[in-house]
Each structure stands twice: as C-alpha cells, then as structure tokens.
Amino acid sequence: YAACQKITLSGEADESPGVLPGDVVVVIQQREHEKFLRKGDDLLMSHTITLVEALTGTEFVLTHLDDRKILVKTAAGEIVRPGDVKALDEEGMPMHKNPFLKGRLFVKFDIEFPKSGSLDAASMQKLTQVLPARPMPSIPSDAEEHFLTASSIDQMGQRGGHGHDDDDDEEHGGRRARCAHQ
C-alpha cells in the first residue's frame, strides 16, 4: 500500500439492531526508515564498499524489513563504480492488490577510497602494474606546474578577491580597472 492511501472496509463498522453498519476507513501512514527509502513498490538503500570490493567483487549480508538475512553479491569480474545502482528483483514491497508479487530493492553504491598517504611506493607500483595504464598527457615545455588541494564545491565563490561581482568592489577596498571601449 502507498503512503496516505485510504482503504475502505465496507460494512465493517459497529453494528446495532436495525441500523446498517458503516464503513471502516483506514489511512496508511508511512514512517521514514533509517536504511530504506520507499517509492511505490520499490525500495532504495545505500551501501558503502571498499575500493578493493569495487574492483574485485563484493558480497554483504542485508537484514531486510522482515528480519530475513539476504546474501547480496556482485557477479564475478563486475566492477562497481561510485554511484552505481544495482537491483534485486522481488525484494521490494508487496504490490497493491497482489501481495505475492514484490517490487525491487535498489542498492546505490558508495566507494570508500584509501586515505591520502596510506599507500607506500611499493603498493603504488603494484597498482600501476595490474591496473590499466594511466594516460600520459603531452606537456608543453612552458607549462606551469600546480598541485591540487582538497576543497569543496561549496567553497566556490567564497574566497575574497576572486570572482566577486563588480557591485561589491567598493566594499572590498577599492575599484577594479575596467576595459576601455574603443
């Protein structure tokens, strides 16, 4: 049944002599669950796996809503990428008016990468031997070298002096040079 769905049980209300019984109306209310999100007959859950599992296969035990334990596995040789979604047929919610059929259980995968600096030179060398070769860019002789730093998209536009609107120039201590029209 869907959230806020009304189920009417005709003639099932209190009975009294000489009075027709009324209807019982049940309104389904759905609570949020810490692991599953429901959409119709389908369920969605997130699951985090390690990089090794993503590259070599994973299996985990899922405790379902009815307390059944389900062994969930990826196919041998299947690589799971961050954000990939896989589905288990017949493991969702029972279908309305046909409770013997169930929706699907979707699993969205998150990948846990090793922490920066956790791989030594020998481990990195082994990875370069077993993984596909990294692309080698053509580097011009006059290229400037810069190293990336950790950041967040939320920080974009938040740093003073870069990328602010011209309207804010006076607030930040001066005017900016403008291009002259010719």
CA distance 61 to 42: 19
Kindly report, residue by residue over 95-120, the tens digit of the pLDDT. 878 889 999 999 999 999 999 999 99
pLDDT of residue 160: 62
Q: Quick one: CA dihedral 143, 149, 155, 159, positive or negative?
A: negative
Residue, of 25 and 107, whose pLDDT is higher = 107
Kindly report, residue by residue over 127-170, the tens digit of the pLDDT. 999 999 989 999 999 999 998 888 888 888 886 655 445 554 44
Across the chain, what does the average pLDDT equal? 85
pLDDT of residue 113: 96
pLDDT of residue 11: 82
pLDDT of residue 118: 95
pLDDT over 80 at 4, yes or no: no
H-only helix segments in the chain: 51-56, 121-130
pLDDT over 90 at 61, yes or no: yes
CB 25 within 8 A of CB 44: no
pLDDT over 60 at 173, yes or no: no
pLDDT of residue 164: 47
Residue, of 79 and 21, whose pLDDT is higher = 79
CB 27 within 8 A of CB 6: yes
Amino acid at 117: G
69 pLDDT tier (thresholds 50, 70, 90): very high
The pLDDT of 38-61, averaged and rounded, is 95
pLDDT over 60 at 177, yes or no: no
